[in-house]
Copies of this chain bind each other. A is one copy, B any other.
């Protein structure tokens, strides 16, 4: 199964404007992860102590179960737009990124794969989201592929009919500007609401996706 997962503002943005090293999720975008950074399970996975257990804990654990590979966009991997240069950006996450699986990064700029500690490998795919999903599906075998963030990649995969399930963490904030996940998508996309979990400052929404095309 191919899943798309992202935190999304009530006005439909998965990141604010002007993503940068200082603002990986764009200006104001970190508010989208307030609910996440409070969780003990997230903090442990990111090498931080403390945190709480909420209804979101189980949701996060379930989302991480049965995964075989990730797909993400260039903005989520980071390092700004354009060629990688001589001292390329190696992601936001340090030497041991929290994925522990193959990750396929959709980018316009080729570079060799990047192998990190803990089983995370980043493979850079230059022929589009569909190609990245195909590679991830192969790498994942019987397990799921999670398209993890990036409004642009998510939108392209939805439009191409590649997404079986949508996992949105709806956050009560208005970002006003940024990139919208749902913009210019074919209305032939059909959604079935399959799960709703109320967290603290977040609602976890799951939809089965099909297309009548």
Query: Which residues of chain A have a CB within 8 Å of any CB of chain B?
Result: 10-12, 28, 170, 172-176, 180, 182-187, 189, 191-193, 196, 198, 201-203, 205, 207
Contact = CB atoms under 8 A, between A and B. Distances in A.
A12 B174 CA distance: 12
A143 to B, nearest CB: 26
A101 to B, nearest CB: 28
9 contacts: A11-B180, A11-B185, A28-B187, A170-B205, A172-B191, A172-B207, A173-B191, A176-B186, A193-B202
B182 A12 contact: yes
A28 B174 CA distance: 26
B184 A176 contact: yes
Nearest to A188: B174
What are the 7 closest A-B residue pairs judged by CB atoms, nearest first? A11-B182, A196-B198, A172-B191, A172-B193, A176-B187, A12-B12, A196-B203
A116 to B, nearest CB: 35
What is the copy number of this chain in the assembly?
A: 2
Contacts of A189: 174
Secondary structure call for the A interface:
loop
Nearest to A191: B172
Given A172-B207, A176-B187, A203-B196, A11 B11 contact: no
A53 to B, nearest CB: 19
B187 A174 contact: yes
A175 B193 contact: no
B193 A196 contact: no
A176 B189 CA distance: 10
A202 to B, nearest CB: 7
Among A174, A175, A184, find the residue whose CB has the most chain B CB atoms closer than 10 A: A174
